Structure 1
Amino acid sequence: MSQDDTENIVVRTDTEENQRVIPYLSFIYHYLINNPLISLFIVPVGVVIFIEAARRINPVDMYNQLLLQYVHQNNLVCVMVCLFLMLFGFGTYCMSQPCPIYLVDYACYKPPSNLKASCEKFLETARRLGYHSESWCNFMGKILEVSGLGDETYVPQSMHEVPQDFSMASARDETEQVIFGSLDNLFSKTFVKAQDVGILIVNCSLFNPIPSLSAVIVNKYKLRDSIKSFNIGGMGCSTGVIAVDLAEKLLQVHRNTYAIVVSTENIQQGAYLGTKKSMVISNCLFRIGGTAILLSNRYQDKQRAKYKLIHIVRTHCGSDDKAYKCVTREEDEAGLLGVSLSKTLMPVAGLALKTNITTLGPFVLPVSEQLRYFITMMVNKYFKCANLKTYVPDFKLAFDHFCIHAGGKAVIDEMEKNLKLSSLHVEPSRMTLHRFGNTSSSSIWYELAYIEAKGRMHKNHLIWQIALGSGFKCNSAVWIALKNVKPSSNDNNPWDDCIDRYPVESK
């Protein structure tokens, strides 16, 4: 074998060795880049090892000798520089992480007792108004019998009067009473000054006046000129979670401030005066309600906050025509405006829920539940086993409390069935529907207030709020309790005067 052949073998061997080493170096590089916290500790340790190794070896040339001499003379300086770089990098990493979002407190609006409307009174007013024939009043009576609503829900003052006033001024008066009542309660509970609020988000689907509702609040409470205000409309009963999601995103940018989220709905703007069955149903279900929520990204608020936000998962099925059209506000054949509920509403809601929990599951479910779901899904996909249904994970293992949007008895029943919940888990939803009716986007907060009033909320409990809305959307918010929430008569809880009577047997 010639000398040239030997050199070729050596070169080829070195090349093959390099090809083996390069992937490992690439893997290490990408791992360190994707895990900066680890690299922050590895780099200083590597520098220290290099310095120590330099002490032990003999310098081979003048440059190494000068380097070692400098290191020996400035050993303390090198260590301090390494320490500074480590602390600076650690600080930068911490600053880049999302800051925790705390729910300091919230306030649900409780209308005055003169606005209560029993089912019988509701039908009596409908007869007196003359909008509906006796047969249609009987039809509404049957809906109310199976609706799950009790006899202490609230409707606007204009809907107690004959004739009814559907003017813009009347609608504004209804919404302002709810919003101002909620905010006054919130400010008195939290002792937060209006000038300290940096972000304001208001959501109301049907009533969007000019100036906007957010501007009405800014004017009423004289909020600061730099307030970041938003007004969300037309997004249905799930908008409360969307508003919280928007607030969370803004609080990640604007540090050391408060955000207020106001969720409500205008009832008389959604009132339908015609005879189309799919539109009459909404008249029977929706009632006055609203809530104001105070969120904070200030670390000092952790001690007094009730909850911390863990996850928000939003699902939008609007690309499907059936989902998009299942809840719409439109005119009937006579030109009368109302909210139409399609017969496909429940199947669409079930599909939206399935998509939502598929996304949420990996964040909250135990590994055992995720594995069972994955195995059954893969078997059904590749082996087409007709007798094997896809496993529905047991979310009771992940959450302590469930706040399901009180959209109606059928919605709650479907949720209870699909998620395999017990009657105790859906009790807050059923009782909220019974006592306050469908208050749209604020209903999940009345349910949370029910759990608190019952004394069931304890530290580290996980709460799942599930909201459904037009479009069609299913949105989830997950909170963790930071303290034991004790029921208190001074807490202005909307359930204070009636919690001892609940639960009751709903219709």
Structure 2
Amino acid sequence: MPVYIHHIETLLPPTSYAQEDIAAALKRSVTQGDRRTEKIIHHLYAHSAIERRASVVTDFLPGAAPGIFYDPAADAFLCPSTGARNALYTEAARTMFPSIAARALEAAPGFAPEQLTHLITVSCTGFFQPGPDFAILKALGLHASVERYHLGFMGCYAAFPALRMARAFCEANPDAVVLVVCLELCSLHVQWTAGMDDLLAGSVFADGASAAVISAREPIGVALRLDAFASAIAPAGDSDMAWTIGDIGFQMQLSSYVPEIIQTNVVAAIQPILSKTHLTREQVSHWAVHPGGRAILDRVEKGLSLPETALAASREVLRNCGNMSSATILFVLKELLTRGVTPDDTLLAMAFGPGLTIETALLTAV
């Protein structure tokens, strides 16, 4: 039974910062006159291929009141506790989760909130209970019988298991209507340190939300058929991308070797999805690669011998939004739809996360 993504919706917080302004703030906060660290920050941000990133943190807006990260009167950078960061996550997420969910269901052709049967929420940047699924249920007036699931703390690839779950629900029940909602507020875990892991993470991660309406109904308009999924693990990559919960936010471990590891393993990683769908690399019409950073996109392009234009949609999302963890891949798929697809075009989507895990999906435009 074919199952389709009928509509994708995206949402950014209203506050955003230019990449050069973030770099300037970071230099003031961590370098303490160390020219070497200053040069590292300049290089990371100047070569990030990111122009702006959105954030729920408003501390750095002109005229903003003192916040949990910055006191403008004293020009002091603060290190709030994990509890304080999570409180801000909870406040913002309780608004953004219902907002993106409502927008997705309202914009999906032929669907209405009361038709929803399953709700899958995804986030790795905060926790609260009753959770985001409950917040959506209450705000949209959904029936209590809607089945609710939450995927937490998985990282950048988490949209893939969520989409896989949604397809399974629809295959089991032809009348199922599933909403997948991903929201990440990565900026809440900024670390004002000169550690390379913190500098790398601080140069790419951002805030954003995305949602997809999925069912086995015959599509009205353009849709993406979910054809196949596959998972792979890059050998020797388990210590190069990881994080844990610390006393002052989530502590990220992000090795500069991650792009190289991905390049080394990307051909083998996509082979299972190509074998499942009986396609060759040359038969893939569009590539939807998670823009974890410019170097990752460069290495994927090189590893797969793709033309320079192949990852244009991923680079556009990186330029305007940065890396929004699990929410990002749906931004890329929406960008590809906006640019235009034709019936029977194949889309190979890919994302990376702790492990080092590489998730892939093959979709067909209808």
Among 150, 164, 187, the alignment partner of 2:68 is 164
Deviation of 1:192 (Å): 2.7
Deviation of 1:212 (Å): 2.1
When you count strand as a share of all residues, which structure comes out higher? 2
**In structure 2, distance between residues paired with 1:248 and 1:220:** 25
Deviation of 1:401 (Å): 0.7
Is 1:257 the equivalent of 2:176?
yes
**In structure 2, distance between residues paired with 1:103 and 1:444:** 13
Deviation of 1:156 (Å): 2.0
Q: Is the 8 A contact 1:365 1:398 kept in 2?
A: no
Cα RMSD (Å) of the superposition? 2.4
Deviation of 1:285 (Å): 0.3
Query: TM-score w.r.t. structure 1 length?
Result: 0.63
Q: How many residues align?
A: 345
The residue that corresponds to 1:239 in the other structure is 158
239-248 vs 214-223, greater mean Cα deviation: 214-223
Q: Answer with 1 or 2: which has the greater Rg.
A: 1
| Superposed CA offset, 1:53-92 (max 9, x none) | xxxxxxxxxxxxxxxxxxxxxxxxxxxxxxxxxxxxxxxx
Q: 1:133 to 1:221 in 2, by over 3 A?
A: farther
Runs of 4+ in 1 over 4 A off after TM superposition: 334-337
Q: Is the 8 A contact 1:315 1:352 kept in 2?
A: no
Q: Is the 8 A contact 1:156 1:267 kept in 2?
A: no
Q: Is the 8 A contact 1:143 1:281 kept in 2?
A: yes
**In structure 2, distance between residues paired with 1:111 and 1:209:** 19
Q: 1:231 to 1:337 in 2, by over 3 A?
A: closer
Q: Is the 8 A contact 1:207 1:269 kept in 2?
A: no
Q: Is the 8 A contact 2:352 2:358 kept in 1?
A: yes
Deviation of 1:223 (Å): 2.0
The residue that corresponds to 2:290 in the other structure is 405
Is 1:327 the equivalent of 2:226?
no
Q: Is the 8 A contact 2:286 2:347 kept in 1?
A: yes
The residue that corresponds to 1:490 in the other structure is none
Deviation of 1:240 (Å): 0.7
The residue that corresponds to 1:210 in the other structure is 129
Q: Is the 8 A contact 1:364 1:398 kept in 2?
A: no
**In structure 2, distance between residues paired with 1:418 and 1:173:** 42
**In structure 1, distance between residues paired with 2:249 and 2:45:** 22
**In structure 2, distance between residues paired with 1:105 and 1:163:** 37
Q: Is the 8 A contact 1:186 1:292 kept in 2?
A: yes
SS in 2 for 1:329: strand
Q: 1:230 to 1:132 in 2, by over 3 A?
A: farther
SS in 2 for 1:410: helix
Deviation of 1:138 (Å): 4.7
Q: 1:365 to 1:434 in 2, by over 3 A?
A: same
The residue that corresponds to 1:69 in the other structure is none
Is 1:123 the equivalent of 2:23?
yes
Listed as ranges, the gaps of 5+ residues in structure 1 are 1-98, 370-394, 483-507
Deviation of 1:476 (Å): 1.0
Listed as ranges, the gaps of 5+ residues in structure 2 are 70-79
**In structure 1, distance between residues paired with 2:24 and 2:94:** 27
Among 195, 199, 203, the alignment partner of 1:284 is 203
The residue that corresponds to 2:77 in the other structure is none
Which runs of structure 2 are paired with 1:310-321 in the superposition (5 Å)? 310-317=227-234
Greater RCO, 1 or 2 (C-alpha within 8 Å, sep 6+): 2
SS in 2 for 1:291: strand
Q: Is the 8 A contact 2:105 2:213 kept in 1?
A: no
Deviation of 1:416 (Å): 0.3
Query: TM-score w.r.t. structure 2 length?
Result: 0.86
Deviation of 1:140 (Å): 2.3
**In structure 2, distance between residues paired with 1:439 and 1:399:** 25
What amino acid maps onto 1:420 in structure 2?
Answer: S
Is 1:149 the equivalent of 2:34?
no
